[in-house]
Amino acid sequence: MKCPVCGAEVEESARFCPKCGASLELVRNFIVSTTPSIPGYRIKKVLGIVTGVSPRTRGVLGRFIAGFETMFGGEVKAFTREIEKARNEAIERMKSKAIALGANAIVGVDLETSDLGLGSGIVLISATGTAVIAEPE
Ligand SMILES: [Zn+2]
């Protein structure tokens, strides 16, 4: 696996990143939730808002839609996959920031897809949430 803080390649069983010292135990148990609270947990500290973005050019998405709509008559699985990939990327980036802040969870996560407009042809997928330290009740 990759250390989410510094990006170094670390062993699957490692408890700490040998390069930056981040707790990988924490990374594996990290909670990402769209709800403002986590059942069974108490929020001990709010560390702040974290955001992760993943830009995609509309050209890439457009080609997906065009190509696959013709093939499957309206089914756009490849497009869905591409959006999901972008969303996961945005979430992972947001997580890295939260971990760097010392959080072990992100609550109130909101995913947004926005068009940068003005003919830029860029679609921005962003994830925003509140980084917190949560502990089991
Ligand atoms: Zn690291």
**Interval between CA 95 and ligand 1 midpoint (Å):** 13
Note the pLDDT tens digit of each residue in 10-46. 998 898 999 988 888 888 889 999 999 999 999 999 9
Average pLDDT, the chain: 84
User: Strands across the sheet with 105-115, in order?
Assistant: 31-32, 105-115, 122-136, 41-57
**Interval between CA 26 and ligand 1 midpoint (Å):** 12
**Interval between CA 10 and ligand 1 midpoint (Å):** 8
Residue 61: predicted pLDDT: 60
- Between CA 81 and CA 98 the distance in angstroms is 25
CATH topology of domain 33-136: Translation Initiation Factor IF3 (3.30.110)
Sign of the CA dihedral running 51, 88, 107, 116 = positive
- Looking at per-residue pLDDT, the higher value among 110 and 7 belongs to 110
